[in-house]
Structure 1
Amino acid sequence: MMEEQKPKQLLHLVFGGELDDLQSVDFKDLDNLDIVGIFPDYASALAAWRSKAQQTVDNAAMRYFIVHMHRLMDPDKQ
């Protein structure tokens, strides 16, 4: 009998906020960052990012980002 292997967790954080200047990644108000969540893989993080980006399409200064947390947690394993 073969053991079922769980998929490897590659954690990703999705967050966003309004930028001070569209040429930088400095946020207007750090207290009002929108922390969308932490996701177990890139595909689910991308789906959440797309949803939030679509919801805020009318605000040109609003930006959402995906952070590859797994790379920060274990930088030797890229």
Structure 2
Amino acid sequence: MEKTETRQNLYLVMGGRVSDPRSITFQDPESIHVAGVFDDYDNAENAWRANAQRTVDDAEMKYVIVHLHKLLDPAA
């Protein structure tokens, strides 16, 4: 009997100063703040929300959730 591996979902929460608030082009990619990598979307969203709320008064600061599992296995 073959063992099937369950697909692991990973989410990266990161943010930094963007050149235009309507884009996700970071001004200085080397200074991006990595809030963490999470194995479920709810925890990633909580981390995103906490960091976004903390910087809400700065229009040039933007946090995003990156679906790492989609980058690691684009065919899935």
TM value normalised by structure 2: 0.84
RMSD: 1.5
| Runs of 4+ with >4 A deviation | none
Gaps in structure 2 of 5+ consecutive residues: 1-5
**Aligned residues: percent identity?**
46
> Paired residues, what number?
71
Unaligned stretches of 5+ residues in structure 1: 1-6
Matched ranges for 1:31-70 at <5 A: 31-70=30-69
TM-score (norm 1): 0.82
Q: Is the 8 A contact 2:21 2:62 kept in 1?
A: no
User: Relative to structure 1, is the Cα distance of residues 22 and 60 closer, same or farther in structure 2, using a 3 angstrom cutoff?
Assistant: same
Secondary structure (helix, strand or coil) at the match of 1:63 reads: strand
